[in-house]
Structure 1
């Protein structure tokens, strides 16, 4: 992997700066690799917020809303991996230069005003989630539009439409996920231009909604909104509902949404807790951190193997191993959140999501 495509590069800015006619197969491969890294980058902050909810059963509505978003992001990453392999590329996931770095910016230089960090669920973290998912022109708001992740996916979609002959159906991974997680979440083979176009539509609408509505057509729960609006209404403390008299037909004037009681996970320093003398973990905490980081790194390795496998059964087995590693992250993460930081702030540790090379 060249340094130009590394996580802390300006690769997406450079790709978006290339004229449309120059967006060929090489452009698509580079863009899809960045899109994979974008999808992966959203998962750790969202997971920290989810795991910090003390009683998921009591705060089921908020917990399930965030969990649904996380599952969408996982399926988005899988669909983008299928897009890359269908044109002959190979997703790179298990590599020190490509994994997310926190606190830090999103990969490729997209939305450089956002600093993405790892902490518990708070108003500040919810605002960060909203900034990540923000559409070009959200309804029920009057902010100046900015460049969105959706705009990047729009460019990828147009490049596929210009180069339909690149789609060959190589190494496609399939998995049924709609039954458990909702419409649009299946990993499906992307062997035709129509299938690729549909997959990009799912990713864009689940994240941002349409230009005129915050509704998510590919939902797991009735009334589910696109990611941006789901996060926004938790932050606002009221559901976003249709209001005919509102300027755009929607307003945050629905039923109250109560912020869950959470573990007060602090913000993980760059490079992990041990980098700050005031946060240096004791042996018990360090053991939990090491366990988590190893499992996370093994998860990334199994994901890469999934889309490298030529044999469908081998790919399926690798994806099953990745899922097993994913499920085993929750326990050490929540255990960490029950250990207070030694600085007297009352805040707690939490997972670092540090990459450990095999």
Structure 2
């Protein structure tokens, strides 16, 4: 018998036993008890692990995988309010910078939805329609305990805010056209850990899981579909090592970090003689509306909060109630209400409002 056969190779035999043990943990059928357990874990009755804990301790159970995907939803959502406020603040805009930010917002919304689809695919239930889901701004940490040197806040589209956006989207590898090599952030490692979990444990995928339709995203029917979905989220935010390009079908020419860096340095990122550099056409930043929190009574953001809370409730229903579609009218209402507030110099209040 060859030493490469399992019976004569102790290391390989241990690996096979470990993999079988993990598969037994991950392959249990999707049932109501698991969904209820996930709901209680993500609504605050059980503390959620930090991103670092998931990366360092690995994801060793089905509950851990669902918890990690719920955290991914929180992480993707946390970037949306700052990006929306920056977009809504834009006035005169000769170089169409608002369009750039809007494209990023749309992709972040897609990433948020894809994380929810991944969660239902492994038997979890997204929990987003409650006060604890919404981040508090300014934030010195992103969800999962990711420390930020520059606080993440709701501000107009100015250079200081672009620096914050670059910080959020910084690649997990040294970006091109940059000389220094700061320590990589942990977001990329977090997604890599989730990918590794799907690849190594091959968890059962619920073929009938409810999902939100996302353009250009195939249904999650297999482990390979799940891995490709996570890779898309990571790739669109960070790009790929050595190149800022993402596939042309994704709607933007470069990954998010490079789009924001173009606005920050006010130069297009171009490739000349095989080398990327921020040396292209100049970019003029837009005029913006400044805004601040309102102290008026009654609360001028009350309608905005009502629309936001209703939208989150509607979205959660898409993953829990068959036949439910995203409330597009609520999305447009959120935009028009938020733009109106910022036009009046008032910061939109992204906080929960209990239905009454």
The 8 Å contact of residues 82 and 190 in structure 1, kept in 2 or not, is answered as yes
Q: 2:136 aligns with which of 86, 92, 101?
A: 101
How far apart are residue 218 of structure 1 and its match? 4.9
Counterpart mapping for 1:266-281 below 5 A: 266=292, 273=293, 279-281=294-296
Q: Find the counterpart in structure 2 of residue 327 from structure 1.
A: 332
What residue ranges of structure 2 are gaps of 5+ in the alignment?
Answer: 1-39
The 8 Å contact of residues 41 and 48 in structure 2, kept in 1 or not, is answered as no
Do structure 1's residue 357 and structure 2's residue 354 form an aligned pair? Answer: yes
RMSD: 2.3
Counterpart mapping for 1:10-25 below 5 A: 11-19=50-58, 22-25=59-62
How far apart are residue 97 of structure 1 and its match? 1.8
Q: Find the counterpart in structure 1 of residue 175 from structure 2.
A: 138
For the residue of structure 2 that corresponds to 1:155, the secondary structure is helix
For the structure 1 residues 66 and 294, does the alpha-carbon distance in structure 2 shift closer, same or farther, using more than 3 Å as the test? same
Structure-2 separation of matches of 1:98 and 1:59: 37
The 8 Å contact of residues 139 and 212 in structure 1, kept in 2 or not, is answered as yes
Q: 1:48 aligns with which of 60, 80, 85?
A: 85
How far apart are residue 168 of structure 1 and its match? 2.2
Q: 1:234 aligns with which of 241, 255, 263?
A: 263
For the structure 1 residues 7 and 232, does the alpha-carbon distance in structure 2 shift closer, same or farther, using more than 3 Å as the test? farther
The 8 Å contact of residues 140 and 250 in structure 1, kept in 2 or not, is answered as yes
Structure-1 separation of matches of 2:132 and 2:291: 27
Q: Find the counterpart in structure 2 of residue 251 from structure 1.
A: 277
Relative to its length, the structure with more strand (as a share) is 2
Do structure 1's residue 300 and structure 2's residue 300 form an aligned pair? Answer: no
For the residue of structure 2 that corresponds to 1:113, the secondary structure is strand
The 8 Å contact of residues 95 and 284 in structure 2, kept in 1 or not, is answered as no
How far apart are residue 235 of structure 1 and its match? 0.6
For the structure 1 residues 350 and 7, does the alpha-carbon distance in structure 2 shift closer, same or farther, using more than 3 Å as the test? farther
Structure-2 separation of matches of 1:78 and 1:304: 10
Q: Deviations over 1:217-267 (max 9, x none)?
A: 15455x71000100111011001111348xxx211111011101111124x
How far apart are residue 170 of structure 1 and its match? 3.7
Q: Find the counterpart in structure 2 of residue 124 from structure 1.
A: 160
How far apart are residue 169 of structure 1 and its match? 2.6
Q: 4+ runs of 1 displaced by more than 3 Å?
A: 1-10, 111-114, 218-221
Q: Find the counterpart in structure 2 of residue 269 from structure 1.
A: none
For the residue of structure 2 that corresponds to 1:165, the secondary structure is coil
**Structure 1, 147-156 or 122-131: larger mean CA deviation:** 147-156
How far apart are residue 120 of structure 1 and its match? 1.1
Do structure 1's residue 193 and structure 2's residue 246 form an aligned pair? Answer: no
Q: Deviations over 1:33-82 (max 9, x none)?
A: 00000111010000000000114xx4463111111111111111111111
For the structure 1 residues 210 and 220, does the alpha-carbon distance in structure 2 shift closer, same or farther, using more than 3 Å as the test? closer
Q: Find the counterpart in structure 1 of residue 205 from structure 2.
A: 167
Structure-1 separation of matches of 2:160 and 2:133: 26
The 8 Å contact of residues 55 and 189 in structure 2, kept in 1 or not, is answered as no
The 8 Å contact of residues 246 and 255 in structure 2, kept in 1 or not, is answered as yes
Aligned length: 313
The 8 Å contact of residues 79 and 199 in structure 1, kept in 2 or not, is answered as yes
Q: 2:121 aligns with which of 60, 79, 86?
A: 86
Q: Deviations over 1:99-125 (max 9, x none)?
A: 211111210102443421111111111
